[in-house]
Amino acid sequence: MTILVTGANGQLGNEMRIISKGSKDKYIFTDVVDASEESIAMLKKLAGDDINIDTLHLDITKLDAIRKMVSDNDISVIVNCAAWTNVDAAETAGDIVETLNASAPENLAIAMKEVGGLLVHVSTDYVFGGDPYNTPCKEDQKGTPTGVYGLTKLHGEKKIKATGCNYVILRTAWLYSEFGKNFVKTMLNLTATKPQLKVVFDQVGTPTYALDLANAIMTIIEDYKKEWNLRLGTRNYSKNGVYHFSNEGVCSWYDFTKMIAEIAGNTACVIQPCHSDEFPSPVKRPAYSVLDKTKIKIDFDITIPYWVDSLKKCIKSLQ
Ligand SMILES: NC(=O)c1ccc[n+]([C@@H]2O[C@H](COP(=O)([O-])OP(=O)(O)OC[C@H]3O[C@@H](n4cnc5c(N)ncnc54)[C@H](OP(=O)(O)O)[C@@H]3O)[C@@H](O)[C@H]2O)c1
């Protein structure tokens, strides 16, 4: 099979490069930007000099370009790692956020519908948050986003479903990796350089190491391949649907930061808990956005690592 990865130079896309190394399938990595020198160096450090660092240009807002890429390369699966991911900036960025988070995934879904392929699309816990929760959110719970980012991601999910393509939508949360900018890298730097730091404790969720998410995506692709081989006639995937994936466990951003500092040995920095209203932002974040992962664990027989164990692995890679 040939598998297309979009947004390949982002956090998750780079982990897909690592996790797919050695696969019997052919992976094509695409983005609108070239890989940075920093990312290429990290890829080689983590996966060796023979890691695939190539990037073909593909703008997922352009349906004709997607169609051409799919037909020229006989693509059977698309893994969409591209998105507008800046939650605060989404409030004022205008139409591009809806275009990238809703219309573009619809383009990918249309292209997969036309060839009977599968779209693996990544969504977010921020499709929830408008209602107060104190239990983990299930896949069929009503979306109640609090900002433009969550709303446009929810629109993207609906548009994908409406095309009738084979799809797996994976909602994830608090994503971090060795690549790009993220909370872990920011806090590693701040706890190493600042004498004290305040971090919110009234927002609770679960961190997700993008390598673990990439691993889950590979499991889904392998499952799809088994079925695809058996049912070439119909090509309807029995596990089409929405799934939740984060690491195991629950913490606040404050606990997350304390653990980052402890693992890194940044003990000189005094980290104090504070309320969200001390850091006003354009979007109200959910107070409790824990995802219930029962469905993915049962349907795909996935064992999910505890968030502290994965955090240790990522920080070790960064050091
Ligand atoms: N980050 C989180 O905390 C988080 C939490 C929950 C869910 N998610 C979801 O997880 C997925 C992966 O997130 P991530 O953090 O890996 O994202 P990321 O690091 O921001 O990577 C996204 C990549 O897509 C590229 N891109 C932008 N516009 C494009 C276009 N028109 N066509 C093709 N590629 C384009 C970006 O390029 P530029 O850098 O030039 O924009 C970037 O390389 C996303 O769907 C996101 O919504 C993320």
Radius of gyration of the chain measured on its C-alpha atoms: 19
- Residues of the chain with pLDDT > 70, as a percent, come to 98
| pLDDT at 133 (0 to 100) | 85
Q: Which residue has the tokens 């994503």?
A: 175
What residue spans of 199-293 are helical by DSSP H? Answer: 210-230, 253-264
Which atom of ligand 1 lies at the shortest distance from residue 210's CA?
16
Region of poorest pLDDT, from 28-42, 142-156, 220-234, 291-305: 220-234
Active-site residue identified among 149, 209, 254, 288? 149
Tell whether the model's pLDDT for residue 120 goes beyond 60: yes
* pLDDT 10s digits, 268-291: 999 999 999 998 888 988 999 999
What's the whole-number mean pLDDT along residues 134-160? 96
For 206-254, the pLDDT digits (tens) are 999 999 999 999 999 999 999 887 766 557 899 999 999 999 999 999 9
- What pLDDT is attached to residue 229? 77
**How large is the average pLDDT for residues 185-195?**
98
What pLDDT score was predicted for residue 242? 98
Output the six-digit token pair for 42: 């990290």
- Choose which residue among 81, 98, 159, 206 to substitute to test ligand 1 binding: the one with the highest number of ligand atoms within 8 A of its C-beta: 81
Report the half-sphere exposure of 182 (CA within 13 A, side-chain side): 22
The answer to whether the CB of 291 falls within 8 A of the CB of 125 is yes
- Say what the pLDDT of residue 198 is: 97
pLDDT attached to residue 234:
54
Which pLDDT tens digit goes with each residue over 44-101?
999 999 999 999 999 999 999 999 999 999 999 999 999 999 999 999 999 999 999 9
Residue nearest to atom 41 of ligand 1 (CA): 84
What residues does 137 pair with on adjacent strands?
A: 291
In the structure, which protein residues have their CB atom closer than 6 angstroms to any atom of ligand 1?
Answer: 6-7, 9-12, 31-33, 59-61, 81-83, 85, 100, 122, 124, 153, 172-175, 180
Residue with tokens 């900002």: 147
Beta strands in 40-117 (DSSP E): 56-57, 75-80
Task: Kindly report the average pLDDT of the chain as a whole number.
Answer: 96
Known catalytic residue at 149? yes
* % of the chain residues with pLDDT over 90: 92
pLDDT of residue 280: 83
pLDDT at 137 over 60: yes
